[in-house]
Amino acid sequence: MNKQAAISRRDFFARVGQGAALAATGGLVWSYLLGQQAQATPYAIRPPGALAEAGFNASCIKCGQCVDACPYDTLKLATADSGIPIGTPYFIPRETPCYMCEDIPCVPVCPTGALDHALDDIDDSRMGLAVIDIENCLSWQGLRCEICFRECPLQGRAISIEHHPRRISKHAMFVPLVHSDACTGCGICEKACPTQKAAIRVLQADLVQGEIGDHYRLGWTIDSPITQDFKAAPDSAAGSAAATGLDYLNEGAP
């Protein structure tokens, strides 16, 4: 190995190292920028049919065709200063909610499938979940407001009114309750709420919804496995014993 070759090899490795270092530092800064933007996503209320955030972020090409298709100008594309990943579609319910068009014009124009074309009933969309701040909700103060309930496109299903009867020195209350199994997150309630800052707000369900978990079994719910076990029980030996016990306790009852 002569000296000339050794130097040029060293030179070669140094150049490879420089190139790799440039790519690595550039890549790290770049991926930091991407990460910063992706962190903002939980605060975006997406159009109907949007895939879950990771899938949506991966597939949205930021073309704005859903924005063009929206007849109410509800949807916007995020600008660099909106605090939402740049270029992705979102809406601010307090300004303009989703009016839940039956033909869902924003979804079929999506070229990438970031808005799922399988969505054929707007009632099945899950843009977010309405959450009530009961400290500021007029109905919870005992006033007969119930505007959110009356404005809700899925009245009685997504928002119902629960009657809390009058008690001594306490006003009767008719309070709105949101049901996550029906609420689409359209935000019409948030738009309609008469308080200075909306006391009912749409957020991504992940941000506000808890989860009971498998380790709690609600024995009194009809579809709980435990209840079903008990119902199946009368056929077994243990079951008939339980049945006998019941009969015994009920003896003499009309």
Partner 1 sequence: MTSPGKPLKTGPNGRPVRPFVMPASLGGKLYVWHLLLMRRAVQLGVLLLFVGTVRWGWELAGRPVLTGNLSSSELFGLVPLADPFATLQIMMTGHLPLQELLLGAVIILVFYALLGGRSWCSWVCPINMVTDLSAWLRRRLNISDMFHLSRNIRYTVLALALVLSVLTGVAAFEWISPISMLHRELIYGIGLGWTAVLGIFLFDLFILRNGWCGHLCPLGAFYALLGRLAQVRVGFDAPSCTHCGECARLCPEPQVLNLKEAAAAGMIASGECSNCGRCISVCPEDTLQFRLRYLIEPPNHSETTEPRQRRAA
Rounded CA separation 239/243 (Å): 6
Enumerate residues 102-121 that contact partner 1 by CB under 8 A: 109-113, 117
Give the residue, chosen from 47, 85, 185, 187, that forms a contact with partner 1 under the rule CB under 8 A.
85
Enumerate residues 2-41 that contact partner 1 by CB under 8 A: 19, 22-23, 26-27, 30-31, 33-35, 37-38
Enumerate residues 36-75 that contact partner 1 by CB under 8 A: 37-38, 54-55, 57-59, 61-65, 67-69
SS3 state at 89 = strand
Please answer whether residues 102 and 122 qualify as being in contact, where contact means their C-beta atoms are separated by less than 8 angstroms: yes
Give the residue, chosen from 2, 5, 81, 254, that forms a contact with partner 1 under the rule CB under 8 A.
81
Taking every pair of Cα atoms in the chain, the longest distance, rounded to a whole number of angstroms, is 111
Q: Which CB sits closer to partner 1, 23 or 134?
A: 23
Rounded CA separation 176/22 (Å): 58
Residue type, 226: I
Task: Report, in Å, the least distance between residue 73 CB and partner 1.
Answer: 11
Binding footprint of partner 1, residue count (CB under 8 A): 41
Rounded CA separation 199/234 (Å): 50
Rounded CA separation 152/191 (Å): 11
Residue 76 is a binding residue for partner 1 (CB under 8 A):
yes
Q: Which CB sits closer to partner 1, 110 or 145?
A: 110
Rounded CA separation 116/89 (Å): 14
Please answer whether residues 47 and 98 qualify as being in contact, where contact means their C-beta atoms are separated by less than 8 angstroms: yes
Q: Which CB sits closer to partner 1, 45 or 78?
A: 78
Residues that bind partner 1 (CB under 8 A): 19, 22-23, 26-27, 30-31, 33-35, 37-38, 54-55, 57-59, 61-65, 67-69, 76-82, 85-87, 109-113, 117
